[in-house]
Chain A
Amino acid sequence: MAKYLMKRILYAIFTLWIVVTITFVMMMGVPGNPFAGEKALPQAVLDNLMAFYKLDQPLIMQYFNYLLRVVTLDFGPSMRSQSTDINTYIANGLPVSMQLGLQALLVALVLGVLLGVIASLNHNKVGDYLATVIAIVGVSVPSFVMGRFLIIVFVTNFKVLSFGAFHGFENWSYSILPSIALAALPLATIARLTRSSMLEVINQEYIKTARAKGLKQSAIIIKHALRNAILPIVSALGTITTNLVTGSFVVERIFGIPGLGEAFIKSVESRDYAMIIASTVVYSFILIVITLVIDISYTFIDPRINLVGGAKNG
């Protein structure tokens, strides 16, 4: 296992390098620069800025500068505002986005699996249709509509909840609505996956065996069916989790949350090269780590999966 982990970490570093390189090429290929505003800057000012950020150097030098920044994990100041140190920015924003994302993930996972199981057990009956409707609503209603709707219902009309900045459990109730708004889409995805996967599993012979043993329906579903049905959901969790914990531009905007979501979108828009590279690294790093965790968790869920690769008996 240790050998496998080492191998995976080496692969991860390699992957990260590829991602940074491709991002760099694409970033430089896009016309414009960080300082192009509505009002053109005087040439002398522009030259100075370019020199300050080392953008006047040959591309290959710039590339190595970026690589150095990634390796040292020191992304320097934002190109848009000198006062913003990117490392501090991420250190402040990431925990907020992560908390929000993990809460949303919890909601999506618990309710999604529950909904999917209910749907599969009531195949082509009311429960199934109800779950399908919820799933379709979750997929098709955009988060800005969902967010606003939640605000109107719970904040404006019933006045039971509020929203705004929160830190950990300080003002925790502020994080409830954005978590729900964020959870809607992954909840629907998970529900649909669970439903189709469960439908496949409950028609398997070993479910018949379990019934023939005299097991209760609930025991059959929880012990025999769900464990076999959960694998496709776990696979999907990789991207779902990454998307959730790295923050959502829309949801963070609507609920006024100082997360990371905004940085991703705005940095591209404004050609903030330093910020683009930083957010790419954060995003890919999280994705790579989560993928590794998920790959390892497969072996616990399904004993037939063998990551290390070795002699199989039987």
Chain B
Amino acid sequence: MEKLLDVKDLKISFQTYAGKVQAVRGVSFFVNKKEVLGIVGESGCGKSVTSSAIMRILPQPPALYEGGEARLLDVNLLSLKEEEMRLIRGRDISMIFQDAMASLNPTIKIGKQIMEPLMIHQSLKANAAREKAIEMLDLVGISNPEKRVDQYPHEFSGGMRQRAMIAIALACRPKLLIADEPTTALDVTIQAQIIKLMNNLKEEMGTSIIMITHDLGVVAEMCDRIVVMYAGKIIESGNAKAIFYNPKHPYTTSLLESVPNMKMSRDKVLTPIPGTPPDLFAPPVGCSFYARCKHAMNICKDNEPAVTDVPDEYDRLHYSACWLNSLEYKEYNKEAVR
């Protein structure tokens, strides 16, 4: 497997009047070619910031890049000049957002919005770009594309708008598509259609996808590998099976327990995770999940757990940052038992 994107120790904070918020606190992950990576976590855990940081579309200020790198093949995106980065956006990496209505410009025709990246990155003339836009609309399953190309976003339904967004994002056949909660604002049947469409297009175009979501159902349907984020850090990563069948971090376990599934017995009560994520103005010294964790131990409070290999039958590259998996803890525990 060849790595397409390799993010190492990415740190992002936001300067606010109340102080500095450490939104992303040293995140490392990678995306292989033709792979779908899911980034999962609750609101405010830094998943969207991470993806916007890779695209370098965070407004600066207030955003501050405090370290790390993000390599697309051989290029460190974070050290590029703005003009060089601009040419990568929409050509090599594209992005789609949660709310397709808000993400499309209400005063510009859909066709024109699809034509824009084509005219910038492939230097197509207006006519050729228009042909391509119609082709893209057809590809994302919008019927009657010749007519639709001249319509405005308010003339499209919710699902069609997200399809149009996908058409814009994929117009230049990017190497990587970042989808930031693309199905959250849609109803369930449309969600399923959009996921199916993205799966098909991925096969057809060979695009890698980073899927950002808090919906574990979406992750299960689409993702090859999963990264679980909590309070600005990655606390567990591995392939989809490893995460779903053999979670190695109490947060992942709790997250899975809080979602219903079809095989669950009827009397089973869903278990919510008590408490709220820590304040990122002053993140905890030890494990950030300490305050909400039912397995919390003394060591967790002041010592941050290192990322540990927890290889299993599903994935040799399964990692978790929890003292429960740590050798030191196991030694310590043995001592205690004795």
Contacts and interface: CB of A to CB of B under 8 A. Distances in A.
Interface residues of A, number: 23
B105 A211 contact: no
Nearest to B87: A214
A214 B121 contact: yes
Interface in B53-95: 55, 57, 86-91, 94-95
B212 to A, nearest CB: 14
B152 interface: yes
Interface string B171-200: 000000000000000000000000000000
Contacts of A223: 108
B240 to A, nearest CB: 27
B276 interface: no
Contact of A205 (B103, B117, B154, B168): B103
B116 A212 contact: no
Residue with the greatest number of chain A CB neighbours at <10 A, chosen from B89, B107, B169: B107
A314 B117 contact: no
B102 A303 contact: no
A208 B103 contact: yes
B41 to A, nearest CB: 20
Interface in A184-220: 204-206, 208-216
Contact of B120 (A204, A215, A228): A215
Contact of A313 (B89, B121, B155): B155
B88 A206 contact: no
Contacts, number: 77
Given A209-B97, A303-B152, A314-B156, A214 B90 contact: yes
B138 interface: no
A55 to B, nearest CB: 55
B317 to A, nearest CB: 30
Contacts of B116: 210, 213, 215
Contacts of B99: 205
A199 B116 CA distance: 24
A47 interface: no
Contact of B57 (A208, A303, A313, A314): A208
Contacts of B169: 212
Contacts of A74: none
A205 B102 CA distance: 5
Interface string A100-142: 0000000000000000000000000000000000000000000
B107 A314 contact: no
Given A206-B103, A224-B105, A213 B157 contact: no
B311 interface: no
Contacts of A210: 105, 116
Given A213-B168, A224-B108, A228-B105, A314 B91 contact: no
B88 A314 contact: no
A214 B87 CA distance: 6
Given A212-B57, A314-B157, A206 B104 contact: yes
Nearest to A225: B105
Interface of A: 204-206, 208-216, 223-224, 227-228, 301-304, 312-314
Interface of B: 55, 57, 86-91, 94-95, 97, 99, 102-108, 116-117, 120-121, 151-152, 154-157, 165, 168-169
Given A208-B97, A303-B152, 12 more contacts: A209-B103, A209-B105, A211-B89, A212-B57, A212-B89, A212-B94, A212-B169, A214-B90, A224-B105, A304-B106, A314-B151, A314-B155
The 5 closest A-B pairs by CB, nearest first: A214-B90, A205-B102, A314-B155, A214-B89, A213-B90
11 contacts: A205-B99, A206-B106, A208-B103, A212-B90, A212-B94, A213-B90, A213-B120, A215-B86, A224-B105, A304-B154, A312-B154
